[in-house]
Amino acid sequence: MVRLSLEELYKEVILDHYRTPRNKGRLDPHDVMLERNNPLCGDELELYLRFKGDDIEGITFDGKGCSISLASASMMTERVEGLGVKDATALAESIKRMMAGEEEGDPDLIGDLVSLKGVVKYPVRIKCALLGWNTLLEALEEGSGRKPE
């Protein structure tokens, strides 16, 4: 039986999402589309969201970049789909604080997103990991200001 160290396990999670991204591609129709990039690394991200009432009915991403930025975006879409705007915002804020080292992160809330912290040890890479989450926060703000159906 092969035992993986925690860090190896985290790397596996990241690589899995990088190789097999979830929710990748354009979402049509969508309510919000944002294009953001991380010039330090060259990561480019497009984020698509569709809302149903106050819930995120659909979320996809597209773009190119390093494994951390793409894996993080993939994990994010998988995690926040179906969440209410409020819960998704709270989760994104929590991830940002975790990556900044301000909090450990509640395992029940963070889940396997903790693997991001496990592999990201350099400030430049933290920007890669947070690109999706920062874009999500912007998109949620834009989305919550839209007219009800």
Residues at the contact surface with Zn ion, assessed by CB under 5 A = 41, 43, 66, 69, 128
Supply the DSSP string of 25-71, one letter for each residue: S--SS-SEEEEEEETTTTEEEEEEEEEETTEEEEEEEEEE--HHHHH
Residue placing its CB nearer to Zn ion in the complex, 33 or 41: 41
Instruction: Please report how close the Cβ of residue 31 comes to Zn ion at its closest, in angstroms.
Output: 27
Instruction: Please report how close the Cβ of residue 10 comes to Zn ion at its closest, in angstroms.
Output: 17
Distance separating alpha carbons of residues 32 and 65, to the nearest angstrom: 21
Supply the DSSP string of 111-127, one letter for each residue: GGGHHHHHH--SHHHHH
Residue placing its CB nearer to Zn ion in the complex, 69 or 77: 69
Instruction: Please report how close the Cβ of residue 127 comes to Zn ion at its closest, in angstroms.
Output: 7
Residue placing its CB nearer to Zn ion in the complex, 130 or 140: 130
